[in-house]
Structure 1
Amino acid sequence: MRRSPWATLAVLALAQFIVVLDVTIVNVALPHIQADLNFSADSLQWVINAYTLLFGGFLLLGGRMADLLGPRRVFVAGLLLFGITSLVAGLSRSPEFLIGARAAQGLGGALLSPAALALLTMTFAHGRERNIAMGVWGGLAGLGGTLGVVAGGLLVDSLSWKWIFFVNVPIVIALVAVIPVFVRDVRHHDGARRTFDTLGAVLGTAGLMAVVYGVVRSEPRGWGSFEVLASLVGGVALLVAFVLVEARSKAPLVPLRLFRSRALSVSGGALALNGAAFLSMFFLTAIYLQQVRGDSALEAGVHFLPMGGAAIVGAVLASQLVQRVGTRTVQLAGTVLSVIGLLLLSQADAVGSYATEILPGLLIFGFGILGVGVPGQITAVSEVQHHEAGAASGVVNAMYQVGGALGLAIVTTLSITHVTNELTHGATQQAALVSGFERGLLVASAFAVANLLLTLASPQLQPTSEQLTEATAAA
């Protein structure tokens, strides 16, 4: 049976759309989730972190499974897991249950996302059609992040926070039903070794989660407590074991030789810092708008929309400018804008006008964030062999996700500590929250400053249109 490649693209892009949607749709529901399930302030971040950590930690294994088992099979398995865990998340009645469901949901995303991209590249021949398909893929993914906050606000205000998860279920059912009709069961035939680096995936993800847990628990327990020290030391030990396993594996999850490339190492670090700044800003601002300024969930979502629009415009401009002035120049401009946007946001108070105190910072940060991401992704794969470009893209994408999770843990812990100290010294709750918001955004801006310094070490490239399309779509 002949299948239209554009119908295949529609199925794959919609699946990727809901994966990206779930990263942002949750943010505006956080205050409602906290109140309904009695989350503590320091544990609330795990609603975000459980998803991003498992997504980033198992993204590479998901890509390897797609290569060995067939991308359509892994795509369907990931989609089913994503749908089932979305239903479970919506039915959650305790913080632990929701966090567990979000972790499993992240695993589902890690399976379906690389499999969908593999199906797309095997459906469209190299050249103009694939470039168009990649552009649609990347554009819909970006749109998912932008619409997530508004869709989340609508669902929370009109129904309840549970519907930000329930909404995935009918979409998943419909996609699974049409996959046999519209998506071919294509396979790689390259004689690759049929081995999984499951141990590497488990060690890497467990190590990162232990480190994040240690950072989070430092606020209530103190840095010198046994729980915190054991988590941090154990996490570092697991990460060391991960490196040793990868160095000796015949089919490593992360080919360590890739890091001999200065471009990949520097760009991977820059994208990790970019993820840390972005996820921290989104988390803090979503809570600030609702708990300090009194926004409804929908109002908070609408207030984020200009940033999404600015990010889309920023991505288009960055894509054009890198071919004229080079990747490093654009990336430096993006980091400067990110720093300025975060510093402006940190000056907001509880009663000032949204148009003068919030909007300028959101717009500038939105322009800047993809001014870092677009050239960073291009540079990351510039020095690797063509047959390893997919692995390199997977590595930097995972670094972005994990950097976001670790950065959010650091920013949230320092922000909560500051709020607690302010309350102890007699500040009102509103004043303490504003002060904690400011402290958190200043830490996020420190990530952006570190990114600025790191970008100075990146090479200056002027990519072709084809390299640009493929690199940004794989981001």
Structure 2
Amino acid sequence: MPKRWLALALLCLTGFMIILDASIVLVAVPSIEQDLTFSSGGVQWVPSGYALMFGGLLLLGGRVSDLLGRRRVLIVGLAVFAGSSLLCGFAWSGDALVLARGLQGIAAAVLAPSALSIVMTTFPDGPERNKALGIWGATSGVGGTAGSLIGGPVTDGLGWQWIFFINVPVCLLVIALAPVLLQDSRGPGKRGFDLTGAVTVTAALIVLVYAVIEAPESSAGRTTLLALVSAALFALFVLVEKRSAAPLVPLRLFRSRALIGGNLITIAFGLGAFGLNYVYTQYAQLALGISAIQYGLMSSVLAAAAVCGSMVGQNLVTRVGARPVAAVSLLLTGVGATAMSRLTVESGYFELAFWGLTFFGAGLGAGTVAGSISALAQVTGDDAGVASGLQNASFQIGGAVGIAVLSAVATAHSSGSSPAGLTAGYRVAFAACWAFVAVGLVGAGLLRTRATEPTAASPAAQPGHR
């Protein structure tokens, strides 16, 4: 096997781990809350603290990897991720766990763009890069949905601490093999950081995600105020980037319809993957009263369908283009969500849930491939780190927002704490996934048709000619 494909396997393992860590904790939250002491509502920061730091710092992570060397930054990030995972497992209080999860998120924000930019610089533009990005996108999609499958048996069998301990040997393996298998590279330019831009965009993202996560427990006025603060910070960021000699995010990137469309698609699938998975976890464990292991087995069909969908999707993108693959995939997830919205307390697993999860997973797998390829297809090597940071941020922030939005919808439409009352809210939340589909379809509409896409032989598709 060529060395570059072994390198891809190593990088995909890293990508799978950091995305998995965002979702696997959801299954373990009840056990964590029983063992550790939290203030009222404080346990929500175990999953959301990771998401906030991960999503908020991804853009800076991409810039750091471009300037300091992608392989070097990857290795340092792995070391920090391993150390913070140990701190999570040995956490002696709720506050200690939340702080350790935040450190994990910071490490993930550096790891994700470093790994993806190495993928882009390892494979030449064209069908081979499409295949590599398709495999990368598939591992990210599966990582976002496989948390319950892996987390259930680990939590019930070994204890919640082991959902963090299992990261350590993975990190050590990649650290050992990275100097042998991975190429180092960096983007040319000034060796400096746009600190003002980094602070403003990170603050804007953190405030935005914080506002959505806190919305179910906050007043409308407070949520609106936080949203306005976030918008003001984003506006300030744009102004800073226009005036910066070495901007954190070159605004020229947003002239690409493919980049904008691909990231909208990725946001949509992040919203749906994490949001639907979270609501189904609540339905299964609170309304049906099943164990974490049983839930993991029931939800495994989603991960399996996502794997199959990603393999089919990467071949179809190469043949017919990303636009139709993305559109059909989004509609498939909508069909799956519709089936889930028909669930009742008496519904048999193979009556609705099995089919809903299958359709949703197939669309998720194929669609994340199309979104990833679209977002990065027209990016030069110089901007690989920041573009990959944007693409990863889209999925992660979409996931944090999706959980918050669907949780709020479910709470607002529940009719009491009985299983039937809770299920009434969950049904509406599943149906609300169509709003996420709409976001993705807007992104798909921005993509070029196959006939107008640059080919591998055209100057636009060649490195250095974009």
TM-score by length of 1: 0.84
2:81 corresponds to 1:82: yes
Percent of pairs with identical residues: 37
Seen in structure 2, the aligned counterparts of structure 1 residues 70 and 445 have a Cα distance that, compared at 3 Å, is same
Q: What residue is the counterpart of 1:473 in the other structure?
A: none
Moved more, 450-459 or 57-66: 450-459
Q: In structure 2, what is the Cα distance between the partners aligned to 1:381 and 1:184? A: 20
Name the structure 1 match of 2:429.
Answer: 440
Provide the residue aligned with 2:99 in structure 1: 100
Is residue 45–residue 409 contact of structure 1 (8 Å, CA) maintained in 2?
Answer: no
For residues 120-170 of structure 1, the C-alpha deviation after alignment (integer angstroms, 9 at most, x for no partner) is 555667789877766665555555456543221121111211210122123
How much is the aligned-residue C-alpha RMSD, in angstroms?
Answer: 3.3
3-state SS of 1:358 partner: helix
Compared CA separation, residues 85 and 438, structure 1 to 2 (3 A): same
Matches within 5 A, 1:266-285: 266-285=261-280
Residue 205 of structure 2, aligned match among 205, 208, 215: 208
Give the 3 Å change call, closer, same or farther, for CA 185–375 of structure 1 in structure 2.
Answer: closer
Establish whether residue 430 from structure 1 lines up as the match of residue 422 from structure 2.
no
- Relative to structure 1, the CA distance from residue 233 to residue 251 in structure 2 (aligned partners, 3 Å threshold; closer, same or farther) is same
Does 2:181 align with 1:192?
A: no
The equivalences for 1:46-445 within 5 A come to 46-120=45-119, 141=140, 144-145=143-144, 147-176=146-175, 178-179=176-177, 182-183=180-181, 186-188=184-186, 191-224=188-221, 227-382=222-377, 387-388=382-383, 391-419=386-414, 422-423=415-416, 428-445=417-434
How has the CA–CA distance of structure 1 residues 246 and 296 changed in structure 2, closer, same or farther, with 3 Å as cutoff?
same
Spell out, residue by residue over 1:167-190, the C-alpha distance to the aligned partner (whole angstroms, 9 max, x if none): 2123334444x24763567344x6
Query: 1:75 Cα shift?
Result: 1.4
- Closer, same or farther in 2 for the Cα pair 1:450/1:12, shift >3 Å? closer
Q: State the SS of the aligned residue for 1:439.
A: helix
Task: Quickly say closer, same or farther: Cα 1:432–1:106, change in 2 above 3 A.
Answer: same
Amino acid of the residue matched to residue 333 of structure 1?
Answer: V
Secondary structure in 2 matching 1:25:
helix
Amino acid in structure 2 at the alignment position of 1:186: D
- Residue type of the partner of 2:322? T
| Contact 1:418/1:439, CA 8 A, preserved across alignment | yes
Distance verdict in 2 for CA 1:324–1:288, change over 3 Å: same
Q: Are the aligned partners of 1:146 and 1:309 in contact in 2 as well (CA < 8 Å)?
A: no
Query: May I ask how many residue pairs the two structures share in their alignment?
Result: 456
Cα distance in 1, alignment partners of residues 25 and 236 from structure 2:
34
- Which segment is superposed worse, 122-131 or 246-255? 122-131
Q: Is the partner of 2:220 in helix, strand or coil?
A: coil
Give the deviation of 1:361 after TM superposition.
Answer: 0.6
In structure 2, distance between residues paired with 1:430 and 1:163: 30
Q: Distance in 1 between matches of 2:3 and 2:325?
A: 38
Q: Give, as a single letter, the amino acid of the residue that structure 2 aligns with 1:371.
A: A
User: Does the C-alpha gap of structure 1 residues 196 and 417 become closer, same or farther in structure 2, counting only changes over 3 Å?
Assistant: same
> Equivalents in 2 of 1:332, 1:121: separation in Å?
25
Secondary structure of the residue aligned to 1:456 is: helix
Q: How many Å apart are 1:302 and its aligned residue?
A: 1.5
Preserved contact between residue 116 and residue 388 of structure 2 (Cα < 8 Å): no
The answer as to whether partners of 2:82 and 2:168 remain within 8 angstroms in 1 is yes
Q: Quote the Cα distance in structure 2 between the aligned partners of 1:276 and 1:446.
A: 10
**Whole-angstrom distance in 2 between the partners of 1:461 and 1:359:** 34
Report the CA distance between 1:62 and its aligned residue: 1.8
Deviates more, 1:157-166 or 1:197-206: 197-206
The separation in 2 between residues aligned to 1:128 and 1:459, in whole angstroms, is 17
CA distance in 1, matches of 2:334, 2:62: 34
Distance 1:41 1:289, change over 3 A: farther
Gaps of 5+ in 1: 471-475
Of 389-398 and 39-48, the range deviating more from structure 2: 39-48
